[in-house]
Amino acid sequence: MIFYACPDLNLRSGGIRRIYTHVEILVKNGFDASVLHNEAGFRLSDMPDVPIAHLSTQNVINPRDIIVIPEGYVVLMEGLNNLPVRRFVIALNPQYIFNSMRDDKDWRDYGVERVLAVSPFIAESVAWSMGLPVHLLDYAIDSKLYYYQLGEKTKKITFFGRKAKCVQSLKRVLRCRNRAFVDDIIWRELTNLSEEDYAVEIRQSTVFLALSTEEGLSRTAFEAMSSGTVVGGFDGVGGHDVMIGSGDEQNCVLVQNGDFIRLAQALEPLLQDILDSNMEKWQPIIRNAQRLVASHTLESEENSVIRFWKEVI
């Protein structure tokens, strides 16, 4: 049995959705797989309908089962240390890898065999620091939810609240510059929404702010790009090689991580064009962004997941 461990957290998280999606793919293709939560009866809504097991249930784990553990779930790594199971890690967010790690241990001390990642930055950093074999899998942007319809666009800026610590400071700077940037444009924090409702907000937005300074790959930014929504903000380190802020291949409005002053300055011409209902000069950036994410399909993700598991089983 393949178990993907998942924290008992009720929040919208790209990492949690990736866990559920991998299990959905495996079950669809004939593998024995399940999401593994802690407390009996816990199940997340607005996620793929997959088998769920619970650690609190006796004898749920058997020898030689494979447990895929999220990068920050060190407590579970320690709890499994004396059990005869195989241990993999799925590493999706660089913030959790070393922030949660014990000072005197790394994943090798818990018997971790290999690591799954979707971010080249994470894959390279884990392979370099711990010497573990890392497998780079693809990820999907659901084109049935995130697509570009020009007629849907409104004078709206959206941002993912949990990862937008500097948004109020950014708004204050912009309001000092021109009150209309804040008063005449809708600023919408996206939180506690279903996937469908979230996607509607993204498709309607003209701008999405990517304000996290620590990301492997910003799924939220790529969903916005797929929706023809201009992304402005930070590359989060992990997006350094694919988020381009200038030149013929520019696909976003980009500044140095955390620099909300320069971000306000960089956003000014975009916000003025939103107020003027004149987005023509931003169309090349929108097209470049859509090209960036176009290859990341549901089929490509499924193929990469199945290829990996066929190799290791």
Per-residue model confidence (pLDDT) at position 151:
86
Task: Evaluate whether 19 touches 35 at the Cβ level (below 8 Å).
Answer: yes
pLDDT (average), residues 117-142: 94
Average pLDDT over residues 40-46: 85
Question: Does pLDDT of 291 surpass 90?
Answer: yes
pTM score = 0.89
Domains 2-140+297-312 and 150-293 share a fold: yes
Give one DSSP letter per residue of 66-85, joined into a string.
Answer: EEEEETT-HHHHHHTTTSS-
Euclidean distance between CA atoms 201 and 156, whole angstroms? 9
| pLDDT-wise least confident of 7-16, 40-49, 189-198, 229-238 | 7-16
Level-2 CATH architecture, domain 150-293: 3-Layer(aba) Sandwich (3.40)
Binning pLDDT at 50, 70 and 90, where does residue 81 land? confident
**CA proximity to 296, closest of 2, 18, 16:** 18
For the chain, domain boundaries: 2-140+297-312, 150-293
Report which DSSP code applies to 274. Answer: H
List the structure tokens of 271: 């916000």
- Cβ neighbours of residue 134 closer than 8 Å, sequence gap 6 or more: 91, 114, 115, 116, 117, 123, 126, 127
Can you give the pLDDT at residue 123?
A: 94
Average confidence (pLDDT) over 303-312: 96
d(CA 268, CA 188): 18
Q: How confident is the model at residue 214 (pLDDT cuts 50, 70, 90)?
A: confident
* Banded pLDDT at 298 (limits 50, 70, 90): very high
Structure tokens at 190: 């996206």
CATH architecture assignment, domain 2-140+297-312 = 3-Layer(aba) Sandwich (3.40)
